[in-house]
Amino acid sequence: MTEHAPIILDVAGTSLSVDDRRRLAHPLTGGVILFARNWDNRAQLLDLTSAIKAVRDDLLICVDHEGGRVQRFRTDGFTHLPPMRALGDMWMDDGKGAGALAGNGAMRATNAATAAGYVLGAELRACGVDFSFTPVLDLDHGESGVIGDRAFHRDARVVAMLAKSLMHGLLQAGMANCGKHFPGHGFVKADSHTEVPVDKRSLKAILADDAAPYPWLSSTLTSVMPAHVMYPKVDSRPAGFSKRWLQDILRRQMRFDGAIFSDDLSMEGARSLDGQLVSYTDAAVVALDAGCDLVLLCNQSVGTGEPVDELLDGLLAARDKGAWQPSVDSEARRLALLPETLPQPWDELMYQPAYLQALDLLP
């Protein structure tokens, strides 16, 4: 067992290559994130996740599986989960006529959110996946195309309650959670996958609105992913590379003690710092020094996979030179995200009363 395995990497295809196995066995590899290209069917996915665990059983197997347009596995029995905005719409619908009663929609929506979390988590775990990067806590300002209907609602209070309900469902399935994208990606139009978004609001304005769900959920969130967004009135660096955001505000002010993941280091929003183009290794060192426990590098194993090897070797060299210090606390936070219960096999899950009821509750 390594003292700190901070790198979450990907694999190229539907089964492990020799290079995949070598990278997964690296002492700095802490997990793997799966994509649609890693999916063919449930049997194949279970074989893949079993092969990953055979390399190292402590590896955290992750996926972006939120519902709506961000759902990597969609066939062979996987439930097509609604976008989170559907739960926000349900919250606002108290019905019509004599049966309408203020608050009815909110109660139905929180129950449906718990059901969505349970279905999401139980189906993934039945296929050997440990963890999904969900829920989205961004507010729906109506400006961001990359967030859009991934957000529950415009109102931070509604977002917090629906997210907490969804996380309850994940917990029922034995899965941890990840609130993203701290302190908020919904206000900016630019997509951090392809640009460097800039949010020019004051710290006071951000904390009162987009970031509000985080302290409200500080005892429920098990991990957080910061945004590759710059907030120049707070710090010159994007939130995921900012000690001010991660250590001063998220850790100390909001008292969050779970794991912090960087967002994908290959996104455009992470490719330059302080006006300079940076390598993946340099970006990882800055993110870890700022307060991240884990760093993601996505979609770089395809082809030769040279960028993945450069990061693994580069961060190892940075450690040996003292440019990066491994953290026992960070490693404990990573390990805490692994499920503590056995998953229910798929064929049994399909007949489980709680699962069938949850399906009926989905919008």
Pairing state of beta strands 223-226 and 60-63?
A: unpaired
4 noted as active-site residue: no
Strand order of the β-sheet with 29-34 is 131-132, 60-63, 29-34, 7-9, 294-296, 259-264, 223-226, 179-182
- Residue 266 CA to residue 280 CA, distance in Å, equals 7
Distance from chain centroid for Cα 61: 12
Length of the chain, in residues: 363
- Residue 354 CA to residue 193 CA, distance in Å, equals 38
131 sits in which H/E element: strand 131-132
Catalytic residue among 64, 130, 140, 263: 263
80 noted as active-site residue: no
Alpha helices in the chain (DSSP H): 18-24, 42-55, 85-92, 104-126, 156-172, 203-208, 213-216, 243, 280-290, 306-321, 328-336, 346-349, 353-361
Catalytic residue among 193, 282, 289, 309: 193
Q: Which two tokens stand for residue 173?
A: 């399935």
Mind telling me the catalytic residues? 193, 263
